[in-house]
Structure 1
């Protein structure tokens, strides 16, 4: 019939072949003078301010008081997963092959962060830290334990530090889950953890 296009089915191989043939020219990455971004600031103070700014909470403490502080902050949590030697509050055991669907009722997850970024209050978390990738996002509340000396200035420095990592799961977490695209109103806990507390030890 006139005016009606014939539908042409394209296989996966056809699409991938077409993409390969039409790749744009590979351009070198721009050279960035990192010295231009150096600042003489109090890393911890700025980090704490930015964690608060993105909806998180930061508590400076020491390893011996971590569990006491967590219990004070989350007194009614029962289903707790702890993936760190710094806390003994875990009540739910998990293994690397645990089905993530079994974690839907987790009240609190306690994990370690490898790196903090003063610039934006973000924390670098890897598969080794969270054990199960979905854990930081499926839990109702999230606690990250981070060493003070692991806080760096900005994302440029952070990327330099993690550049030699194994290419497996890793994510920067900045505050609890949130969205602002509903009538430009900030909503906390939109699609993940309702709260994030960082214990800086």
Structure 2
């Protein structure tokens, strides 16, 4: 008998007790989800605006290289969605639709159905994500319940612009992704 067979036999002989997993407690949810979400995004160095203020915000910023996958905002894209993400190296602004958001930390869920190209939120200089107010949940437990077992192939929570810091506590915004995040509440 080979050593592999001996190991497999030894494992098969072990009797395990089927123990149930512990119950996950209900966590408190903030009363005012929108206000908590806004505070979380601002604490993450992002900003929140209303759909009504979006056009004037766009005019003020004056971005010219724009890619919008949003179905919630009317924006003219100056960039077409390429098959090669390297073609987006000069992208100034990407506008995407978020699916769910968690008020407790400002995390917004995006998956392949919104992104179309996984690199978009990381390669753009500035990022806009739309979130319907009705899709703001209290915490990550609720967000994961809503996401469930979706099979899009890729998903990511984004909670602000890219940030990194070194041991000397020098914070750099935009080192690994977007330099800014603006959330538009729909």
Q: How does 1:95-174 map to 2 (within 5 A)?
A: 95=82, 98-174=83-159
Q: CA RMSD in A?
A: 2.3
2:112 and 2:118 in contact (8 A); partners too: yes
Cα deviation per residue 1:151-198 (whole Å; 9 max; x = unaligned)?
000011111110131151100001000012341232211111000000
Cα deviation per residue 1:40-74 (whole Å; 9 max; x = unaligned)?
52000000000000111111234xx53333332x2
1:177 and 1:192 in contact (8 A); partners too: yes
Find the counterpart in structure 1 of residue 31 from structure 2. 41
Find the counterpart in structure 1 of residue 48 from structure 2. 58
What count of residue pairs does the alignment treat as equivalent?
A: 172
1:52 and 1:58 in contact (8 A); partners too: yes
TM-score w.r.t. the length of structure 1 is 0.78
Stretches of 4+ aligned residues off by more than 6 angstroms: none
TM-score w.r.t. the length of structure 2 is 0.83
SS in 2 for 1:71: helix
Q: C-alpha distance in 2, partners of 1:135/1:171? A: 12
Q: C-alpha distance in 1, partners of 2:88/2:95? A: 14
The 3 A distance-change label for structure 1 pair 102 and 196 is same
The 3 A distance-change label for structure 1 pair 80 and 167 is closer
